[in-house]
A and B are shown apart, each in its own frame.
Chain A
Amino acid sequence: MPQPALIELKSVSKDYTIGDETLHALANVSLSIKPGEFIAITGPSGSGKSTLANIIGGLDKPDSGSVEVEGADLAKAGDRQLSVYRNKHIGFVFQAFNLQPTYTALENVMLPLVLAGAGGKERKARAQECLNDVGLADRMSHRPTQLSGGQRQRVSIARALANKPSIIIADEPTGNLDSAKGREIMTLLAGLNKQGITLIIITHDMEVAKQASRVLSIHDGAVKEGRS
């Protein structure tokens, strides 16, 4: 019996208008992702890969089509439902880390827990656990400026893990790192995938894409399986 899909996109289209030119970021995309998959989305810049990730992550809504995640249709969800979805089910990892410069590593990881309404003790304990998992047990009270690029990305991964998401979406997670640090981060992310988290990585780095179990390439809004 085939495993049921975690994420199911049906005929999803999304257009952007820049000036008087219409850009088809996604054109009639249908796609199914199973739990625990490790997916790399590749394609040239402006091809629509970020749009796809944003729609799966509940940051953006399609113009048409449906996006079902664990049976709920994100295309029809309101701001509140999408916020809860992003908080509980998704962990975002950004190229530029997007850490709060005035907060310590621990406080940065606690943020999603604060937003989830967790109590003081619980959020601290969980944030410590997450920082421990990414190997930063000794850097908890450091601010981002006191950390290296690789360590900052580890903090942002720990933050993505805080609410035990089922999906992690990483947009060029190694883009701001040298290759050695980039490999370390990929090993960390791959390890999380092995623990059962569905991992979606947007990248144009073929070395990164190679590690994925499935590669989707986008060209002018159209999705193809496998490397382009």
Chain B
Amino acid sequence: MRLIDIFTTASGNMFRSKLRTTLTIVAIFIGSFTLTLTSGLGTGISSYIDKQVGNLGGKDVLIVQPIGQGPGSDSGPKAYDPAKKTSATAFGTTTTALTDSDITKIKSVSGIRSVEPNFVVVTDYIVGPNGKKYQVSANPYVSGTKVELATGDQVSNDVSERQALLPVDYVPALGFANNEAVVGKSVTLGVTDGNGKQHQITAALKGVQQKGLTNSGGMNTNEALTQEIYRTQSLGLPKAVTNNYQALLAKFDANASPGQITHLKDELKKKGYAAKTIEDQIGTFKAVISGIIAVLNAFAVIALLAASFGIINTLLMSVQERTKEIGLMKAMGMGGGRIFLLFSTEAVLLGFWGSLIGVGVAEVVGRVANHIVTTTFLKDLPGLQLLTFPPISILAIMGLVMGIALLAGTLPATRAARQSPIDSLRYE
């Protein structure tokens, strides 16, 4: 018997009992639909996080802090050391400070290309063409970062011009007609110095930045602007305070392997610094999301396993009903192997149709859900695709479902293949 005939016969047999077959397909559909949605959610969220991490730039940046500080530190409470300085900054946090001597020390580690202070700058207000003052926070721009832009260009850390990116919701508030009207204009920032006196700094606008998970409304400022704000807010403060940094940004070779990065971290640890890449920092967040998605996926797989018992049941009944037919087929020369193949093919076809419909409906539902979500409560996160269905994972899901169906079909198919033709022909 040719394989094409096995396939067409199996296809035909499947719909002899339409209701039973349909119900089994519905069970498989529910499982594959759920699995497609949960895995689509996982892919969508992870790729969004990855994109945001990309925005943070700096795949070649280590955030260096003294050991025992910052998120995720596991060294426990530290003994007080009067020799170590703390930085009491304008924003009121007390941390063990890093100084210029630390910069020199970190620079000496082989593999570190450059070290710059991570300035924390505070601005009071921003004012634009209509003269209204709004509160704003500033994020120092890290070279190489790709901030998501609505229009314009990234700022540059290599120029002396003081540049900034305007968050998109400040465009109408400050009195700009539209996004395009922002590029090339300037705004004024208010900064208070150590003596409580307010200064004004002018910044050129290079573009309009979108909102994202990682730039929570703050405007990106280039190095020239950041330094000017920092210099201004440090006026009147003792030098012991102004030359202290909460964290340093150490750059390394962008092509470094994970092993080399680990080595760098170990080297810095020996010198008493905790170093983390931006990915490390966001890793915890991602791990939580992955954990939730894994649990959801597990539920979907459980649904599929339940459906697989539906397949076993359907095919067992089918074998029972077709006992006499199986006997006849055997008498006419169909071998046990071909009978097994015939019923296995039916099982795989059940899996195929169930998963095809499941995947298809999930895609439609996903697109609708994406549209609703991104136009309503998550519209502030441009570029977010809550559910994404890459073809490879669609194929993997269909393959998985058909594989489960094939396994489920083994029992009925074996039973059919082993039937004695004589007993089967006598079966009433």
Of listed A80, A84, A112, A115, residue having the most chain B CB within 10 A: A115
Q: A59-B422, A98-B324, A98-B425 are in contact. Are A116 and B333 (CB under 8 A)?
A: yes
Stretch at the interface among A33-41, A67-75, A86-94: A86-94
Tell me if A80 and B1 are in contact (CB < 8 A). Answer: no
Sample of 19 A–B contacts (CB below 8 Å): A59-B330, A59-B331, A59-B421, A59-B422, A79-B335, A80-B337, A83-B330, A83-B335, A85-B333, A88-B333, A92-B332, A98-B328, A98-B425, A102-B16, A111-B329, A112-B333, A115-B329, A117-B1, A117-B5
Given the known A-B contacts A94-B425, A100-B325, A102-B16, are A115 and B334 also in contact in the complex, defined by CB atoms under 8 Å?
yes
Write the nearest CB–CB distance from B219 to chain A, whole angstroms: 73
Bound CA span A163–B336, Å:
20
**Interface residue? B2 (CB, 8 A):** yes
Q: How far is the CB of A109 from chain B (nearest CB, A)?
A: 11
Please classify the interface of chain A as helix (H, G, I), strand (E, B), loop, or mixed, using the class held by over half of its residues. Answer: helix
CB pair B333–A115 under 8 Å, yes or no, is yes
- Closest CB in chain B relative to A80 CB, distance in Å: 5
Other than the given A83-B336, A114-B2, 18 more pairs (CB < 8 A) read: A59-B330, A59-B422, A60-B422, A79-B336, A80-B337, A83-B330, A84-B335, A87-B332, A87-B333, A98-B324, A100-B325, A102-B16, A111-B329, A114-B1, A117-B2, A117-B5, A159-B332, A163-B333
Nearest Cβ on chain A to B9's Cβ, whole angstroms: 8
Distance (whole angstroms) from the CB of A100 to the closest CB of chain B:
7
Decide yes or no: A115 and B1 within 8 Å by CB, A88-B333, A98-B328 being known contacts.
Answer: yes
Question: Contact at B332–A115, with CB atoms within 8 Å?
Answer: yes
Q: Is A54 an interface residue (CB 8 A)?
A: yes
Q: What residues of chain A lie closer than 8 Å to B335, measured between beta carbons?
A: 79-80, 83-84
Given A59-B422, A100-B325 in contact, is the A86-B2 Cβ separation under 8 Å? no
Q: A residues within 8 A CB of B324? A: 98
Q: Which residue of B lies closest to A88 (CB)?
A: B333
B residues less than 8 Å from A94 (CB atoms):
425
A114 in contact with B337 given A87-B332, A98-B324, A102-B16 (CB within 8 Å): no
Distance between Cα atoms of A32 and B343 in the complex (Å)? 39
- In the bound assembly, the distance between CA atoms of A57 and B421 in angstroms comes to 11
> Which residue in A54, A88, A100, A116 is a CB contact (below 8 Å) of B422?
A54
The answer to whether B1 touches A92, judged by C-beta atoms less than 8 angstroms apart, is no
A94→B330 CA distance, assembly (Å): 14
Q: Which residues of B contact A80 (CB under 8 A)?
A: 335, 337
A94-B425, A98-B425 known; A112 vs B2 contact (CB < 8 Å): no
Closest to B324 in A: A98
CA distance A163 to B333 in the complex (A): 11
Q: Mark B398-428, 1 if CB is under 8 A from A, else 0.
A: 0000000000000000000000011001000
A162's closest neighbor in chain B, by CB?
A: B332
Chain A residues near B338: list those with CB within 8 A.
83, 115
Within 8 A of B (CB), among A82-139: 83-88, 92, 94, 98, 100, 102, 111-112, 114-117
Residues of A within 8 A of B328 (CB): 98, 100
Contact pick for A114, options B5, B16, B331, B336, CB 8 Å: B5
How far is B336's CA from A57's CA once the two chains are assembled, in angstroms?
17
How close is B42's CB to chain A, nearest CB, in angstroms?
45
Point out which of A57, A87, A114 has the most chain B C-beta atoms below 10 A from its C-beta: A114
